[in-house]
Amino acid sequence: MKNVTVGEFIVETQNTFPGSSGELSKILSAIKLASKIVSHHINKAGLAKDILGSAGRDNVQGEDQQKLDVFANDTFINALSARGVICGVASEENDSYIAFDDKVNNDAKYVVLMDPLDGSSNIDVNVSVGTIFSVFRRISKQGSKVELADFLQAGDQQVAAGYLIYGSSTMLVYTTGTGVNGFTFDPGIGVFFLSHPDMKIPEDGKIYSVNEGNLAHFKQPVKEFIKFCQSEDTSNQKEPYSSRYIGSLVADFHRNLIKGGIYMYPSTKKSPNGKLRLTYECSPLAFLIEQANGRAISESGRIMDIVPSELHERVPYFVGSKNMVDQLEQMMHREDWKFQEKN
């Protein structure tokens, strides 16, 4: 089989992007470069000094920033701004969006939103982490400074989305709206090769991923769905599903994409909007899962339909195999559970 690099793949498929002018390819190329630097740095964690641990400050959401969060954030922003192909970036690690306010970047037609290092609390214990990104066409005028509205678009408007997983190997998985493809990094050569063409999530799954420590605070339909996942029904040959929760969204998502399953971060009494961010985490992975024949919903409906009202908005999140999400959704909408009521 011919070894196809991600670079070759991007060039070969570029013509399928509507109105392609090569800019989207350059964005993916910048992401690819930054990810190699971040991957290399992560692999040294534990050996080199000054990589692990807290950066000693909180981000806008009051979360302790790790040194690697800051490193990954700076690396992706620098790679993206240097190419002159986006007019601005919004990151989970920054209070507000960053406008690349110069002639070249203002002429660009795209913006990027990202979670530069998702699951970073897992770094210190050598567990997989990831980067999630999302690309939109700006709605403000080309040639002008980027505006907040450019970043607050429904997930449906994404032109590309993807993630890097820094695991037993580093992988890039992305979509531009014509299916999902996965590339594995060969560190000896320094190149990503196409390893998972046209990824599809199995329609049915046998894995559920959720932080069950929060079970007591979930709403009744979610509790019932979890009970269903754990149940046995010999008349239907239903065996209990496996519970798998890494606590690193990208890693949980990636496993479920390949094997079939559902990832859930529901609302709780304490966090009525759950934990995950719509723009940096939920929407990009929703675009990917839909392109892979799966589904992503919130308590109010399809994730890709939600128009964010602020950059760091959180939403309850359920993503994975179509039949599993369908079933959960049916349970949510059962009249007698009055899902919208506080339990």
Q: Catalog residues that contact Mg ion under the rule CB under 5 A.
A: 115, 118
Helix locations, the chain, DSSP H: 6-13, 23-43, 67-82, 103-106, 148-151, 220-230, 249-259, 283-291, 322-332
The one among 248, 267, 268, 291 contacting ligand AHM by CB under 6 A: 248
* Separation of alpha carbons 35 and 38, rounded Å: 5
Q: Given the complex with ligand AHM, which of 116 and 182 has the nearer CB atom? A: 116
* Separation of alpha carbons 157 and 278, rounded Å: 14
Q: Is 63 in the site for ligand AHM (CB under 6 A)?
A: yes
Which position has the token pair 């992007």? 17
User: Which one of 80-88, 99-107, 142-150, 242-250 is the stretch in contact with ligand AHM (CB under 6 A)?
Assistant: 242-250
Q: Given the complex with Mg ion, which of 244 and 312 has the nearer CB atom? A: 312
Smallest distance, Mg ion to C-beta of residue 322, A: 25
Smallest distance, ligand AHM to C-beta of residue 100, A: 24
3-state secondary structure of 343: coil
Q: Is 143 in the site for ligand AHM (CB under 6 A)?
A: no
Q: Is 260 in the site for ligand AHM (CB under 6 A)?
A: no
User: Which one of 20-28, 111-119, 223-231, 331-339 is the stretch in contact with ligand AHM (CB under 6 A)?
Assistant: 111-119
Q: Is 211 in the site for ligand AHM (CB under 6 A)?
A: yes
Smallest distance, ligand AHM to C-beta of residue 275, A: 6
Closest to 109 (Cα-Cα) out of 85, 89, 133: 85
Strands 180-186 vs 207-209: parallel, antiparallel or unpaired: unpaired
Q: Is the dihedral of CA 249, 55, 76, 103 positive or negative?
A: positive
Angle at 320 between CA 175 and CA 266, to 5 degrees: 120
Smallest distance, ligand AHM to C-beta of residue 248, A: 5
How many Cα atoms are found within 13 Å in the side-chain-facing hemisphere of 268? 15
The one among 105, 120, 170, 283 contacting ligand AHM by CB under 6 A: 120
Is residue 134 within 8 A of residue 113, CB to CB? The reply is: yes
**Which residue is closest to Mg ion by CB?**
118
Is residue 111 within 8 A of residue 63, CB to CB? The reply is: no
The one among 26, 77, 106, 118 contacting ligand AHM by CB under 6 A: 118
95: tokens are 């209070």
Q: Given the complex with Mg ion, which of 115 and 150 has the nearer CB atom? A: 115
Give the footprint of ligand AHM on this chain (CB under 6 A).
63, 92, 115, 118-120, 211, 247-249, 275
